[in-house]
Amino acid sequence: MREKAGLESGNRFTGWSFPARFEPPGAEIALIVLSVLILVLPAFTPDGPEARVVSVVREVKPLVIEVEKAAWYDWALLEGIGEVRARRIVDFVNRNRPLKNLDQLNEVPGLPRGWLDKAKPFIELRAEVSGP
């Protein structure tokens, strides 16, 4: 009989029933006050965060490729040059070393027309210094 009465009341051990979710009175207000303290209090501590904007300006130097030393993956960074064209450039440079000027790169087969004029600011030909 006790078991049957306990099951009907919602709790088989004591016979008490509770709402599905128990919330003490004023829980919403306490949660709001706690949230405000968490957000605002750190600003008033001695080592608290300081809101300031710091301007960082760095001068970025463009990539400059040394024609006679560059690997194919260096050439592939330039616009209009993929892996196949980059490997052609490296092969051409290796076969025609030492290059006398950058205009010799126009002889590389398969390069887009006018590509060298666009790429000149990013490539350089350094003359190798021979020792005594």
pTM (predicted TM-score): 0.51
Question: Cβ distance 122 to 105 under 8 Å?
Answer: no
3-class SS string, 10-63: CCCCCCCCCCCCCCCCCHHHHHHHHHHHHHHHHHHCCCCCCCCCCCCCCCCCCC
Q: How far apart are CA 89 and CA 73, in angstroms?
A: 11
Domains of the chain in sequence order: 2-44 (no CATH), 65-124 (1.10.150)
Q: How far apart are CA 108 and CA 72, in angstroms?
A: 14
pLDDT in tens, the chain (132 residues): 444 444 444 555 566 665 666 667 788 888 888 888 888 877 666 665 566 667 788 887 777 889 989 999 999 988 888 899 999 999 999 998 888 888 898 888 888 888 888 888 888 887 544 444
